[in-house]
A and B are shown apart, each in its own frame.
Chain A
Amino acid sequence: MADVVVEQGRLARAARPRKKSASLRHVMGRKSTVAFFLTLPLILLIALLVLYPAFYSLYLATLNKAMTKFVGLSNFTFLFKRETFWMVVKQSCIFAVTAVIFKALIGFIVAHFVHNIPGKKQRKWRGMLLVPWVIPPAMSTLAWLWLFDPSYSAFNYTLSFFGVGPIPWLGDAFWARFSVILVNVWYGAPFFLIMYLAALKSVPDQLYEAASIDGANWWQKIWHITLPMMRNIIAITTLFSLIVTFANFDIVRILTSGGPLDQTHLFATWAFQVGIQSSDIPLGACVSLFMVPILAVAAVFILRDVNKRGNEA
């Protein structure tokens, strides 16, 4: 019906004086100009403050510390010879992969529990469980720092009742790595929870009903219905979180500042320490550039998935 009305409107318009249709065509012709001006601020912002700095950092990475001389790739070769650098590479990968796996697992499990809760109560639970994601990470990490305090740790106080000795949460390399991952999982799991919950809601109930009539158990339902239906969201969320976790700065900076003995440094925190605190900008730029390959791979896969979704819709 609506189409017919619009069509009639178009016909009526076309039938009217020539002048008007000519000016309309003129507007259409001008459309690309209008569009260009509407997107100009966006293009300028991205070009000046994202693309330019990205390439500028490539240039910076080839200078000496005083930034007076071009030294080619010697910053990179210098990094390759440093033990700390390889430690940072290793720790960044351990941190990102472990944290993302646990975030995804916890998010997936909790999403199912929340999905089981009926109606109004579900809203309340969902609201409560998303709180870690809402608090600015710098603020919540301070609370964790206090929970991990060497002499007043509330965790150690509680554990002492179970006869578990005081744990050096941030003092020992293993526990410090555990702690930064724990805080990151705590902060990021709610994001997965919300995404997976939205995905779960989009799976038609009939599929589960049909499966239970066919005698499928809960594991078969998850494996053959839930996971295939959610595959796209799981992929996008995981890849996106991989990027964000890999580039994480706040948590490690506040919790350990990279210590003990640089054992918890990630690319971002080490680049900050080298580039800003020790004012070796080229070397810092060099360190942060090492994030690019992994980010690029994840970005390519995300883009593929997003485009696929776009085509389906």
Chain B
Amino acid sequence: MSTLAIDKAGPSRKVKLGSMSRDRTWALRWSYFFLVLFAIFFLTPPVYMLITSLKSSAEISAATNPWWVFHPTLANYVELLTSNQFLRFFWNSAMISITVVIVTMLISIPAAFALARMKFWGSATLATGVFLTYLIPDSLLFIPLFKMLAVVQEFTGITLLNRWYVLVFIYPTLTVPFCTWIMIGYFASIPKELDEAALIDGASWLQTLTRIFIPVALPGLIAATIFAFTVSWAQFLYPLVFTTSIDQLVLPVGITTTLIKGDVFNWGQIMTGALLGAAPPLIIYAFLMDYYIAGLTAGATKG
């Protein structure tokens, strides 16, 4: 059809085609030009973190060109990575994030399986409720949660406030709803024939889940894991409210509260700490970018 139309158009068509491809080259050039501008905007803070982290305090206070390192040094990294306090923050963050990922998966995979495959009374309402829970922000719940923990602590005598492990119970409220939601999407996209065949062959529900659903939906599972990890790693408000002692802090709170001492800002160390704190999510992102993006877009496209 279209070739016919082009043939008919004859000689005048050629000029038009030429202008179109020239248009396209120019569009590409402009795209690159603006992309470079936006890339500078987007990458300035992380690059500046790196630049500052390589400077000594003397060089920073000398106020030379801030965009260049004249005497690069790894002193900030050595100091932080040998400081027990910083390693403690890192350890707390890692422990919490890994535990939260495991807890999240243990809760959301079975729930998503049930909601995607077993129609039961109230299952549609529950699925919608899960999605709504995802929309409730942490800044709405931190005050009642703080008071709840204080009350429970008073009644049971178990110390909950100012302990890092309490965050392991709180963080799933942020990760489970979204992970369940995207797992429902992934599970629902698996053809019914697959698990029907398994059931006919005499597999139990548990076997269908572990032998069919989890392997087939593995990309979704990885995306959900990455989401749960990055959310727990980046969480700032809950640890700021629930933990105060230095040995109980997680990385983001630890860096903002201990490295900033009064008016003395040791910027070299703060930037090094921030960069090291940003490293785990960045490394995961660098290696698993496609899963990361799949998880990001799944929320809206897997309705």
CB nearest neighbor in B for A276: B241
Q: Is A278 an interface residue when CB atoms closer than 8 A count as contact?
A: no
Which of A2, A13, A128, A285 makes the CB contact (< 8 A) with B144?
A285
Q: Which residues of A126-147 have CB atoms within 8 Å of chain B's CB atoms?
A: 126-140, 142-144, 146-147
Q: Is B190 an interface residue when CB atoms closer than 8 A count as contact?
A: no
Q: Is A313 an interface residue when CB atoms closer than 8 A count as contact?
A: yes
The interface residues of chain A lying within 8 Å CB-to-CB of B267 are: 146, 149, 152
Interface size on A, residues (CB 8 A): 106
Which of B110, B142, B270 makes the CB contact (< 8 A) with A39?
B110
Which of B126, B138, B278, B292 makes the CB contact (< 8 A) with A136?
B278
Which of A13, A49, A117, A244 makes the CB contact (< 8 A) with B169?
A49
User: Once the chains bind, are B35 and A136 in contact (CB under 8 Å)?
Assistant: no
User: Once the chains bind, are A249 and B139 in contact (CB under 8 Å)?
Assistant: yes
| Bound: A43/B172 CA distance, A | 12
The interface residues of chain A lying within 8 Å CB-to-CB of B155 are: none
Q: Is B210 an interface residue when CB atoms closer than 8 A count as contact?
A: no
Q: Which of A74-82, A83-91, A171-179, A301-309 contacts B (4 or more CB under 8 A)?
A: A301-309
The interface residues of chain B lying within 8 Å CB-to-CB of A307 are: 128, 303
| Bound: A267/B126 CA distance, A | 29
Q: Which residues of B90-145 have CB atoms within 8 Å of chain A's CB atoms?
A: 106-108, 110-111, 113-115, 118, 120-121, 123, 126, 128-133, 135-145
Q: Is B236 an interface residue when CB atoms closer than 8 A count as contact?
A: yes
User: Once the chains bind, are B31 and A116 in contact (CB under 8 Å)?
Assistant: yes
- The majority secondary structure among interface residues of chain A is helix
Which of B118, B196, B233, B282 makes the CB contact (< 8 A) with A32?
B118
The interface residues of chain A lying within 8 Å CB-to-CB of B132 are: 299, 303
User: Once the chains bind, are A116 and B28 in contact (CB under 8 Å)?
Assistant: yes
Q: Which of A51-59, A162-170, A219-227 contacts B (4 or more CB under 8 A)?
A: A51-59
User: Once the chains bind, are A249 and B237 in contact (CB under 8 Å)?
Assistant: yes
- The majority secondary structure among interface residues of chain B is helix
User: Once the chains bind, are B42 and A152 in contact (CB under 8 Å)?
Assistant: no
Which of B52, B145, B240, B278 makes the CB contact (< 8 A) with A146?
B52
User: Once the chains bind, are B140 and A291 in contact (CB under 8 Å)?
Assistant: yes
The interface residues of chain A lying within 8 Å CB-to-CB of B70 are: none
The interface residues of chain A lying within 8 Å CB-to-CB of B281 are: 134-136
The interface residues of chain B lying within 8 Å CB-to-CB of A272 are: 139, 142, 237, 240-241
A residues contacting B by CB (< 8 A) are 2, 6, 9-10, 13, 31-32, 34-36, 38-39, 41-43, 45-46, 49-50, 52-54, 56-57, 60, 106, 109-110, 112-114, 116-118, 125-140, 142-144, 146-147, 149, 151-152, 154, 157-158, 186, 189-191, 194-195, 198, 212-213, 233, 236-237, 240, 243-244, 247-250, 253-254, 267-268, 271-272, 275-276, 281, 284-285, 288-289, 291-292, 295, 298-299, 302-303, 306-310, 313
Can you report 18 A-B residue pairs in the complex whose CB atoms are below 8 A from each other?
Answer: A13-B200, A39-B110, A43-B126, A49-B145, A54-B136, A129-B39, A134-B230, A134-B285, A136-B252, A136-B281, A142-B274, A143-B46, A146-B271, A147-B45, A149-B267, A194-B293, A247-B137, A276-B146
Known: A49-B173, A113-B34, A146-B271. 4 other contacts (CB 8 A): A6-B197, A143-B45, A194-B297, A285-B147
